[in-house]
Amino acid sequence: MQVIKTKDDIKNIITAYKKENKTIGFVPTMGALHEGHLKLITEARKENDIVVLSIFVNPLQFGPNEDFEAYPRSLERDTELAELTGADIVFAPSAKEMYEGPPSYTVKVTERVNVLCGKSREGHFDGVATVLTKLFNLIRPDRAYFGMKDAQQVAVIDGLVKEFFFPVHLVPVETIREEDGLAKSSRNVYLTEEERKQAPILFKSLSNAKELIENGERNRDVIVEKIKHMIQMQTNGIIDYVEVLTYPDLKEIKELSGNIIIALAVKFTKARLIDNITIEITS
């Protein structure tokens, strides 16, 4: 496995692979790899000749109250995990390599961002879209892999790919869960013992909502209230939001139809957990 740190080197390597008609699968990350990232690498390995993992802590997607400097960085550990999981290349540029100075051009995202977690993270997805535009142009992947744990990010990237005609196929990968249904997250370690027992209720409430829809319920408000009631009755968490929206457009909807997402965020003592499910309603 190669570890590449400059944009010129990665461009030259990608050009050589393209001349050999190799397919390229791309997994963009900010490092601190966990089981979710490794699942993305595994899926990319199945479908491509070459797997490229990027590790770049992107300063543009950190808000004023989010500590860019404190974000965990563990390149040696990450590269070991990436190699063991099947990556061929780790692209790990410095901030100076990606942004030689204050950016002269950035991508402004105006759709799919003013809902869910995006409501409280102004400018975050502008940073995500800007760095992915750079990375897509450098890596030129055939397929790019993103976890559905952050379904809003997947929706925003779907819009980016379509808006700028990137010749890349977006591959969403299902959320990895514990045996009791809790979505795996680095934040789970901050749950108290009692909160950890309660946390699976989040996915249980989503599963219950899905069952209601499968049994014919189409009223958005009914679904939201059922989820809120279950969480309030069975956990000590404070609900940040419960939303039912079209997917991937993330538009409000009253009568459920087509592709939808049911998403929630719940605050516990030291952890804010998010989860979601997507459903295709055909009748």
Q: Does 150 belong to an annotated binding site? A: yes
Q: Does 149 belong to an annotated binding site? A: yes
Count CB atoms within 10 A of the CB of residue 75.
Answer: 14
Q: Which residues face 242 on adjacent strands?
A: 264
| Among 129, 133, 130, 141, CA closest to 52 | 141
Catalytic pick among 37, 124, 169, 229: 37
| Among 87, 100, 75, CA closest to 40 | 87
Q: How does strand 258-267 pair with strand 272-281?
A: antiparallel
User: Which residue in the block uniquely carries the two structure tokens 């379509």?
Assistant: 162
Q: Let me know if 229 is a catalytic residue.
A: no
Q: Does 32 belong to an annotated binding site? A: yes
Q: Does 216 belong to an annotated binding site? A: no
Q: Does 37 belong to an annotated binding site? A: yes
Q: Does 33 belong to an annotated binding site? A: yes
Q: Does 232 belong to an annotated binding site? A: no
Q: Does 237 belong to an annotated binding site? A: no
Q: Does 104 belong to an annotated binding site? A: no
User: Which residue in the block uniquely carries the two structure tokens 């790990």?
Assistant: 92
Q: Does 108 belong to an annotated binding site? A: no
Q: Which residues face 24 on adjacent strands?
A: 50
C-alpha–C-alpha distance, residues 273 and 279, integer Å: 21
C-alpha–C-alpha distance, residues 13 and 168, integer Å: 18
Please answer whether residues 243 and 264 qualify as being in contact, where contact means their C-beta atoms are separated by less than 8 angstroms. yes
Q: Does 148 belong to an annotated binding site? A: yes
Q: Does 36 belong to an annotated binding site? A: yes
Cα dihedral 44, 49, 55, 59, rounded to 10, equals -80
Catalytic residues: 37
Known binding residues for (R)-pantoate are 61, 153
Known binding residues are 30-37, 61, 147-150, 153, 176, 184-187
Known binding residues for ATP are 30-37, 147-150, 176, 184-187
Known binding residues for beta-alanine are 61
